[in-house]
Amino acid sequence: MLLLVGLGNPGNKYQNNRHNVGFMAVDEIIRRFSFSGPKNNFQAEVYEGRIGSEKALILKPQTFMNLSGQAVGEAARYFKIDVSDIIVLYDELDLPAGKIKFKTGGGTAGHNGLKSMNQHLGDAYHRVRIGIGHPGDRSKVSNHVLGDFAKADQQWLDPLLDAIANAAPELAQKDGGKFLGKVALKINPPRNSGTKKNNSKSEEQD
């Protein structure tokens, strides 16, 4: 069984924060694949369903960000889910807004949610890092992370969340390359480079 985890803070006050983009991403997957739930268990909202052929749980910890690992560790132990079958989606300051990366293992880069995850699970889980950009000044980081996405951000945020959900079957296979490739293709579909004249000739030849 696969365990997808979105990181964020519970409550209406935080729902549009940049720090909650992990919640937003798994919400889109929940909708796309008609997951059932939520059930409130393990200090989290728990959703059940399938992504392609993979049976999956989606977890949204309700412990606040810096205690997220408690909920994930509890659920993983109960369902006997190996850390290699856990994928965490979260906000990443060190990536430009709208960029994403997939990685397995590694440090936390100061992210409190990941610090808690590492404390309770070790660091061998998979990660989808969703870029929210850096404000450029360390003193502004807290307000940036806990600030809401601006209206202008919706131009890249909504298509990105849609593309992540669209590529969830590749994510469920833990194939980072195919996942990122499918996301990129959804956001930037190839354009027909032929001119109108060339297109016309092709139609005539057919």
Report in angstroms the alpha-carbon separations of 8 from 52, 64, 182.
Answer: 26, 7, 25
| 91 touches 145 (CB < 8 A) | yes
Q: Which residues pair with 131 in a beta bridge?
A: 92
Those residues whose C-beta lies under 8 Å from the C-beta of residue 44, and which sit 6 or more positions away, are: 59, 60, 61, 62, 63, 71, 72, 75
User: Looking at residue 8, what DSSP letter applies?
Assistant: -
Backbone angles phi, psi at 86, to 5 degrees: -110, 130
User: CA 115 to CA 134: how far, in whole Å?
Assistant: 19
Judged by DSSP in three states, 6 sits in strand
19 is catalytic: yes
Backbone angles phi, psi at 160, to 5 degrees: -65, -45
Catalytic residue among 19, 111, 120, 126: 19
- The pair of structure tokens assigned to 92 is 């990443």
| 59 touches 6 (CB < 8 A) | yes
Those residues whose C-beta lies under 8 Å from the C-beta of residue 142, and which sit 6 or more positions away, are: none
Which active-site residues does the annotation give?
Answer: 19
